[in-house]
Amino acid sequence: GAGVSQSPSNKVTEKGKDVELRCDPISGHTALYWYRQSLGQGLEFLIYFQGNSAPDKSGLPSDRFSAERTGGSVSTLTIQRTQQEDSAVYLCASSLVRPLGETQYFGPGTRLLVL
């Protein structure tokens, strides 16, 4: 079956521009997560959605970062006024929410380069 998909796969932008990154979770998965991974670093949690609401936004690094999810499915991560330090791979994951044994499945990521 279809896994998590993300678009674009690569994005090059100029400092100061806004970018939108898209995530299509696995059908039926109500939980959705955004992470980012800078070059040579581990994964850094950004935000968690349960349905359309975001009970945990604690990982968003600044108010330039925002995310929304509509219809309990597709999510968009927006970075305004991009900075060079925003360059990273942005990963999306989705999961079912079950009482025990929730497993997150990741997409291939969007590689963002801010010049």
Partner 1 sequence: DAKTTQPPSMDCAEGRAANLPCNHSTISGNEYVYWYRQIHSQGPQYIIHGLKNNETNEMASLIITEDRKSSTLILPHATLRDTAVYYCIVRVATGANSKLTFGKGITLSVRP
Q: Which parts of this chain interact with partner 1 (CB under 8 A)?
A: 4, 31, 33, 35, 42-43, 45, 48, 50, 55-56, 59, 91, 93, 95, 97-109
Do the Cβ atoms of 46 and 77 come closer than 8 Å? yes
Do the Cβ atoms of 24 and 74 come closer than 8 Å? yes
Q: Which is nearer to partner 1, 81 or 91 (CB)?
A: 91
Q: How far is the CB of 84 from partner 1 (least distance, A)?
A: 21
The b/e string for 65-89 (b: 16+ C-beta within 10 A; e otherwise) is: bebebeebbebebebeebeeebbbb
Q: How far is the CB of 16 from partner 1 (least distance, A)?
A: 27
**51: enclosing H helix or E strand:** none
Q: How far is the CB of 6 from partner 1 (least distance, A)?
A: 8
Q: How far is the CB of 63 from partner 1 (least distance, A)?
A: 20
Nearest to 37 by CA among 106, 101, 87, 102: 87
Rg (CA), the chain: 14
Q: Which is nearer to partner 1, 93 or 114 (CB)?
A: 93
